[in-house]
Amino acid sequence: MRKIVIAIDGYSACGKSSTAKEVASQLGYSYIDSGAMYRAVTLYFHENYVTVDNPKDVSNALDKINISFVFNERKASSETYLNGLNVEEEIRKMYISNQVSKISAISEVRKSMVSQQRKLGKKKGVVMDGRDIGSNVFPDAELKVFMNAGLEIRAERRQKELLEKDQLVPIPEIEENLLARDKMDSERKENPLVIPDDAYILDTSELTLPEQVEYVLQLATEKM
């Protein structure tokens, strides 16, 4: 069986990462969370007071950023490292969610992240999730899935995830963040969130995680 690239895109918090992670694990593929990369950049910019409307400052900062993923055996999950520090927990916090779409719309940021993502997927055998993976990062991906779900369901799922990390965030605040990010991600000039013509569309509102995984695995097997 040949190794393929699986691109999973969609709106915020509709189960892309959980599905992609599990699909990768079952296929023995690597999993790349492209959103985590934009979140890590956002954290760096926040901590280092980077002037986001100054392209030179942005480029200098990007030169100093090294993002990697390390598999945590105990949690059976890969975690995000920024310049050698584990930032997995920090980048999921609401103050990062509230800034990330602004940072990810910056041209220099996108160029740098997209180039790293392409390198990570070069050897195939990868599942990558995000907003522009099938439309821009890997337009030739063998399998593209575009996920969506109702806003209420997405907010409830995100609230549960945050609670597991001891963060209690009210539903209206989560909904507001999801809608704002979807809007900014869809309306930005470069690599906006779009549904690729050749993507399979999956509404996860009424699906369990195993059902979502099964759907993608079935399609993946057909493409291998």
Range 123-182, binding ligand C5P (CB under 6 A): 130-133, 181
How distant, in Å, are the alpha carbons of 10, 25, 90, 213 from that of 72?
26, 13, 16, 21
Instruction: Say whether 150 counts as a known binding-site residue.
Output: no
CB 143 → ligand C5P: shortest distance, Å?
Answer: 16
CB 107 → ligand C5P: shortest distance, Å?
Answer: 12
Using alpha carbons, select from 216, 194, 184, 218 the residue that is nearest to residue 102. Answer: 184
Q: Per CB under 6 A, does 100 bind ligand C5P?
A: yes
Interface with ligand C5P (CB under 6 A), residue from 4, 5, 12, 31: 12
Interface with ligand C5P (CB under 6 A), residue from 121, 185, 204, 213: 185
Which DSSP category does 90 fall into?
Answer: G
Which DSSP category does 94 fall into?
Answer: H
Sign of CA dihedral 170, 22, 113, 146: negative
Q: Per CB under 6 A, does 19 bind ligand C5P?
A: no
Instruction: Say whether 15 counts as a known binding-site residue.
Output: yes
- How far apart CA 147 and CA 17 sit, in angstroms, is 11
185 by DSSP, 3-state: which?
A: helix
* Of residues 41 and 207, the one with the C-beta less far from ligand C5P: 41
- How far apart CA 223 and CA 198 sit, in angstroms, is 13
Q: Per CB under 6 A, does 196 bind ligand C5P?
A: no
Q: Where do contacts with ligand C5P occur on this chain (CB under 6 A)?
A: 12, 34-35, 38-39, 100-101, 104, 130-133, 181, 185
